[in-house]
Structure 1
Amino acid sequence: MFTRLSPYGQAVILALSGYFLFSMADVSAKILSARHPIVLCLFIPSLIALIGMVARILIERGLNGFKAKYLKLQLMRGAVITAMVILYVNSLRLIPIADFYCIVFLSPFVVMALSVLLYKEAIHWPRILVLILSFSGVVITIGPHFNELNIGYLFACFGMLFGSLNIFLVRKIGSDEYSPLFGLFPILGVLLTSAPFAIPHLTTDLPLTDIGIFIFYGVALIGAHNFLPMAFARTPSVSRLTPLHYSQMVWGILAGIFIFDTPSEINTFLGGGLIVASGLWLFYYETFSSKKTVS
């Protein structure tokens, strides 16, 4: 059934699955970062994810599976994702998850702007309007918190920029790269970066529930780091797929209410709603423009 879909249809399903799993990883990171050192929250899930990815590669292709066609781009992407993950985990420890997503949701608009700069895509008034509305949504969301602003918001902003750059690296690599390698290099980067600081904190006294969350976190990373790159490698247009990022807003709000017992304030709904509406408009505009161009 999945293979019968168009490349864009496959990309949509893969992207939604990837963003859901990243949301689950974010929730796990926020829970664990309140109980354990940040370096452990980076190291243990990365180790679990790496074991799973290496096992898959060995089973499917043996040692030849580790040969990347675009090694330099994969190494660059690994460094970019490593920086993004470190920034995001530190941010989630300090700010509400709904605020975190409202900042992260600027990524599609950064991608749109970079598309103009890197690929010389035409920029029309609807795109400019979307940029203005999305920025307004962020201001509305964090506006009442200006007296409570901390470095976590800055971490989220810089992490979002690295995440936007990652999309273009994935697009540059393309769909002919072996898909597990898209997750292998970022996970390996996070593991190597955190290992020297995390190993001294390792203990056998972890609560059973936390062990379960660490395992779930690692498994979610395996799926997310495989599905999302596969989605962006399949899509005929990056800008048509990036608005699906807003599906994470739903999971962020639900997690805030049911897991962290911090219902979102009205400004979060207003600002987040404005950002999501802007993203949906961008999705409609890009899809309509693409069909009009083809016809």
Structure 2
Amino acid sequence: MDNIRGSIWMVLAMLGFAIEDTLLKTATISVPVGQTLMLFGIGGTFGFLLLTWRRGERAFTPEALKATLYTRAIFEITGRLFFLLSLALNTLSSTSAILQATPITVTLGAAVLFGERVNWQRWLAILIGFIGVLMIIQPSSESFQVTSILAIIGMIGFAGRDLATRAAPPALSNMQLGVYGFAVLIPTGAAYSFWSGGFVWPDLFSGLVIAAGTLVGIGAYYSLTVAMRTGLVSVVTPFRYSRLLFGLLLGFLIFDETADAMTLAGSAIIVLSGLYILAGHSRLKAQASKGLRERA
């Protein structure tokens, strides 16, 4: 039963993130990217501050000054800024598809940086997954969009953030990390706004869209936290890929986007490669647990 509940929470989280992407993309039509990022950061920081205080935790602790958190902040800024730029300049469907390579990139980074065991089959799956990314961006074709590179940089930023989160002090809760993650977006958005041409006064619709995107994003983050703490991770995690389906659907319904055959094929390859890597990781954990029990 926990696995079912965890899977439902994960699907709800991915639906929330897809809606957040849609709302922020809509906002950037009339509000500059930097300003949208800044307002999103203000709303997210305030929201996670309330959640942190509700849990009886302090928002800022000495652990927040660890070097790992600075590294995490750099990757958070990179991921959020370039992903939002891709949303503004590229299609929602293509950006969502490229983002699905994040778990594959995390596996690669964990092997290189943390020395995690990766057998040749998983290395092959990583390579095939990145081939799927190339199929989506089609660098050698006339349909190649330079803006797709923004999505790739954003995806790498999110992968680096996830890796840095693994190394973050265990004493910090997910809510506290949420505060820090959104807080760094405020000066980043402000600086990018000054660099790219300044601020505009958002109209009522744009303001409401950014506010709605922030609220939905906070809800999605909370749902993701509940999902990862409910049921088996190996059962719940694959439902992350439902975000791609929601992204394709919302891109079609809201922005009249249509994904070509190469994008769909590349997306399928990324998802299948990611699922294979997750399955292999689960098998390794099960074998390790079995070995520990036998030695005990």
| TM-score of Structure 1 vs Structure 2, range by shorter chain | 0.7 to 0.9
Describe the shift of the 1:197–1:124 C-alpha distance in structure 2 as closer, same or farther (beyond 3 A).
closer
Q: Could you tell me how far apart the structure 1 residues matched to 2:118 and 2:236 are?
A: 17
1:95·1:152 contact (CA, 8 Å) conserved in 2?
yes
| Partner of residue 47 from structure 2, selected from 42, 47, 52 | 52
Match of 1:100 in 2: 95
Question: 1:40 and 1:288 mapped to 2: Cα distance?
Answer: 45
Matches within 5 A, 1:104-253: 104-143=99-138, 146-173=141-168, 175-195=170-190, 198=193, 201-203=199-201, 206-208=203-205, 210-228=206-224, 243-253=238-248
Which protein has the bigger helix share? 1
Give the whole-Å Cα distance in 1 for the aligned partners of 2:235 and 2:127. Answer: 19
1:131-189 deviations in Å (ceiling 9; x for gaps): 23212222222328832434321211111111111111111226542332111112111
In structure 2, distance between residues paired with 1:11 and 1:120: 29
Note if contact 1:78-1:188 (Cα within 8 Å) is conserved in structure 2.
Answer: no
Q: 1:55 Cα deviation (Å)? A: 3.0
- Which residue in the other structure is 1:261 paired with? 256
Structure 2: gaps of 5 or more residues: 291-296
1:13/1:287 CA distance change after superposition, 3 Å: farther
Q: Structure 1: which 5+ runs fail to align?
A: none
Contact 1:20 1:251 in 2 (8 A): yes
Residue in 2 that maps onto 1:66:
60
Residue 121 of structure 1 aligns to a residue whose secondary structure is: coil
Provide the identity percentage.
20
Q: Equivalent residue of 2:263, what SS?
A: helix
Q: Is the 8 A contact 1:48 1:218 kept in 2?
A: yes
> Does the 8 Å CA contact 2:137/2:145 hold for their aligned counterparts?
no
1:86 is aligned to 81
What residue number does 2:294 align with?
Answer: none
Which residue type is aligned with residue 175 of structure 2?
P
Q: What is aligned with 2:279? A: 284
In the alignment, the residues of structure 1 paired with residue 200 and residue 65 of structure 2 have an alpha-carbon distance, to the nearest angstrom, of 32
Local SS of the residue matching 2:84: helix
Instruction: Kindly provide the amino acid, as one letter, of the partner of residue 174 in structure 2.
Output: S
TM-score (norm 1): 0.82
What RMSD in Å do the two structures reach over aligned CA positions? Answer: 3.2
For residues 147 and 44 of structure 1, the distance between their equivalents in structure 2, rounded to whole angstroms, comes to 36
In structure 2, the CA distance between the partners of 1:226 and 1:170, relative to structure 1 (3 Å rule), is farther
Question: SS of the counterpart of 1:259?
Answer: helix
| In structure 2, distance between residues paired with 1:230 and 1:66 | 23
- Aligned pair in 2 of structure 1 residues 154, 78: CA closer, same or farther (>3 Å)? same
Q: Is the Cα–Cα contact under 8 Å of residues 167 and 232 in structure 1 kept in the other structure?
A: no
1:109 Cα deviation (Å)?
A: 1.6
CA deviation after TM superposition for structure 1 residue 244, in Å: 4.4
Aligned length: 286
